[in-house]
Each structure stands twice: as C-alpha cells, then as structure tokens.
Amino acid sequence: MNKGRAAETADGAASRRSLGDYNAGVNELPARLQRRVWACIVFTLVSVFVLLRLVFWPGPQDAGPFHREHLESVVQRIRGFGVPAGQSRHFRLDRLDDPRSLRDRRPEDPLGSGLGEGDVDARRQPDGSLVVVIQTRDHGHAGRYGFAYTEVPQNGTAVDNGWFLLDLPGYWIVRPPMRVDRHWWRVTSPG
C-alpha cells in the first residue's frame, strides 16, 4: 500500500508541476516551434483587424480628391445634353474617372442607401444658370459626399452650427472651408 501511495504522490506532484509552471513548459518548446506559434498568433490578429476594418469602416468621410479636369468635363457634357431652364435632369457616371461614361439614369439603375456613387443631378435655375452635383462617395447611413458646381457663385443659407445649405438638387450641406473655388464646393449629405 505504501508503494502505491508513493507512486500516486509522485504522479500528482508531476502533474501539478507541469500545470503550475506553464511558462517553463513554453520555454521548453524548440525555438523554431515558438517562432511558428508567434507567427500564427500575429497573422490571426492582423487578419481579424483587416476583416473588421473592411466590414465596419466605410472609408474616407469626404468627397475624395478634386480632379478639376474630370469634373469640369462632366459639366461640359451636361451642357451638351441640355437641361431646360427651371428643370432638373438625373444622370449617372458609370466610371467616376471617365466623363465620357456620363449617361441618363435608367429605371434599372440601383437606388438606395449606399448605391449613389456616380449619381449626377443637374438643374437649370429659372435665370438659366446651371447647378450640378456629382456624388463621388456614398457610405449609406454614414453619409454621402461629392462636388457641386454652381455657375453663379453661391454663399448658402445658414442652417446650424456653421453649416450652410446651397440651392442644389437634393439636400447637400457645406461649411465655408469646403469651398474649392468660386464655382466648386465639396458637399456632404447626412445619412
């Protein structure tokens, strides 16, 4: 009986030692295996971070870079399409970087929150001046962003907290620092 008890005590001590001294057990792993374990941990953490960022972060909260040449070409093409005074017309840019892709909106074009990137709305004011809004980003409920062209410069109407409303097709707001030049504005519309 004493021999069995002694063996039992020795086994118990061995198991307590291996569980209690976890760091010693890890340090006993070969260096090569340790590097692989750490590489797997780092890879997993980075992958989870990238996945979460792609899913939950909509992207830059602004209109993007102001490419004058492309945007002014869009306005010129709209002039060529013709918009009668006092009326609006809805267009679509299939590619934001290609003004030649401008066309009339079709009934089958997607509508809805997050699907407005490339939408272009134009309106001729009663005095004949042209107003154009080119939507460059649509993050759904996180907001819509774009550029507005006004043939007759506008200063806007104060709305709230430093924000101004311009006389544009749709609901777009601006702040004075968002003015690009005399005719162009960076615009945003809350989601």
Query: Which pairing describes strands 144-150 and 184-189: parallel, antiparallel, or unpaired?
Result: antiparallel
Q: Please give the structure tokens belonging to residue 32.
A: 């090569």
- Structure confidence at residue 64 (pLDDT): 81
Q: Are 190 and 159 in contact (CB under 8 A)?
A: no
Q: How many structural domains comprise the chain?
A: 2
Q: Which domain holds residue 86?
A: 68-189
Do 80 and 168 belong to one domain?
yes
Q: Clarify whether residues 29 and 50 are in a common domain.
A: yes
The reply to whether 79 and 13 lie within a common domain is no
Q: State whether 121 and 180 are in the same domain.
A: yes
Note whether 186 and 145 are within 8 A (CB). Answer: yes
Residue 112 tokens read as 């809805």
Going by C-alpha positions, the residue among 156, 167, 154 that lies closest to residue 124 is 167
Same domain, 40 and 125: no
Does residue 158 sit within a domain? yes
Q: What is the pLDDT, as a whole number, of residue 171? A: 80
Residue segments in the chain with a per-residue pLDDT below the cut of 70: 1-29, 52-61, 113-115, 191
State whether 120 and 143 are in the same domain.
Answer: yes
> pTM here?
0.67
